[in-house]
Structure 1
């Protein structure tokens, strides 16, 4: 029993070492916040470690951990009050920069999306999941997935257009 636990521990450690950065990026896309992403990934890895012996197909580990992260994230939405409210005013626009700046702009624009829209977009475009897969994962209807992705993409386009025009742009 002890030898099996040590082997499992080493195998799990190897998995986390090799895939941790990629999983953290997914967690960040789901939460929109680096410290929340770390907490989410840590909680998902604890659950994964506890289920390690029951996971027979090691090639599906990334999918398993992503699913655990999504489930934990959904549970946290359901427990907390609404903290985001729509606003008629756009936040201050940062100055334009290099390609890293464009990536940072996209990250900030994603962070401004409501949680469900951000999660649906991340699962659709970053994880390449189909709308029915997203609906099953999030426990919502396909129509809700479509509207969440559509509204989120419209908001992203608007935010990124404003960022591209820069602070000195006048209409």
Structure 2
């Protein structure tokens, strides 16, 4: 770094001296002040360059970390998806095996047993989600009308038309 600032100082000094030669000013004090300001300027330029380089390094490290994090995240996601796929495949295989077992059990039962009348009675009744309906006699209006009909007077021989004929 020091060599670069020295080179820069020399370049600035030579440039300024050439400009002053055109003006024909040849004082030692002027030359010293030019050298001092050139050195200060060179140091400032060197600091700025150094600062820019540090910022570039920080940015590159940040980008690299982000890329590594992304790769890590994708790898984690891939393993998770692979585990999920394996689990689903195992579940599917178990389901197929169960279905095959049920089909084999159905095939192994003899056809003559299914044709017998007792086999139909042994089959379980399908379940319904609703309870059985109450009989109509339990309704309040229906009970009253039946009692009236049952109290009706029976036909007597006097009222029937069979005896008169």
TM-score > 0.5, shorter chain as reference:
no
Bigger radius of gyration among the two: 2
TM-score (norm 2): 0.23
TM-score (norm 1): 0.22
